[in-house]
Amino acid sequence: MSADIVIDDGSVLTNGSVDRDSTFTGTTFTLSNFDNSGVLAHRWTLVDKPIGSSASLTTPALATTQVSPDVPGGYLVRLDTYLDAGATDLDDSDVEEVGLRFAAPLDWLVPAAGETLQQDSARGWATAREEAIRDVRANILPPPVGAPVALAAAGTTTVSAQSLLLYDPSASGGTHTIEAPASPVLGDRWAIKNTTISPVSVAIDGNGNPIEDPNTNTIIASYALAAGLVSLDYLFSGTNWVLL
């Protein structure tokens, strides 16, 4: 007799598994208890969900229930099991999270609106880096701001935290290296933006701190800015400069 939530998104993977705790849009999660031996009543509660979500549990008093996430983020579900049909003699409880991810390249799971503890840190957000990234995406941290900068001569330009470098190669000569702030702290952020209609190759230097692409988990030293004001946005995770 215990409460142990089983999460099933309905998909069958190549290894035969049907359990998955997060997915993209269009998925309904079925939640059940692993072992109902001696359990005479169930009470499911949607403890927390992202701001703006209207999701709810379909059958909160039955052995199995469903939830369909409608806003990217975490949905915290609690199961209470009881030893009597009137649901007064509590047997056990379990709390698990299911979630809806953003589409790539923002494909990490963010916590529910009021969630402060995650059961499994491997799901992505329960680190300082992921919390900082979450705050950026939720517009909690201010965006980088700054005046346009035209690099007139070849060389290295060191940007400051919370700054925006508008890179105009038409007014710049030679080869340029953009260097991150020298002594960053967690949450520092800066960006470089292409102001031309042509792709631009820019060398990026972490200034002693590695540059990381979170989508590939690789360290990068340079990047090509596409046309149409596409920018590179960096956040310091406490160890690396993460490309958002």
Report in angstroms the alpha-carbon separations of 179 from 191, 211, 240.
11, 11, 14
Residues 180-194: tens digit of each pLDDT? 888 988 778 888 877
Contact between 190 and 173 under an 8 Å Cβ cutoff? The reply is no
User: Measured on CA atoms in the order 112, 114, 120, 122, is the torsion positive or negative?
Assistant: positive
3-state secondary structure of 9: coil
**Percent of the chain having pLDDT more than 90?**
15
- What structural domains and CATH numbers belong to the chain? 5-101 (2.60.40.10), 155-243 (2.60.120)
Alpha helices in the chain (DSSP H): 128-137
CA gap 101, 46 in Å, rounded: 18
Beta carbons within 10 angstroms of residue 24's beta carbon: 13
pLDDT, tens digit, 9 for 90 and up, residues 98-124: 877 665 544 555 555 555 555 444 444
Which of the two residues, 106 and 152, has the higher pLDDT score? 152
Please give the pLDDT value at position 16.
Answer: 57
Give the tens place of pLDDT for each residue, 28-43.
Answer: 899 999 889 999 999 9
Top-confidence range, 22-26, 41-45, 157-161: 41-45
Query: What pLDDT is recorded for position 96?
Result: 85
CA 239 from centre of chain: 18
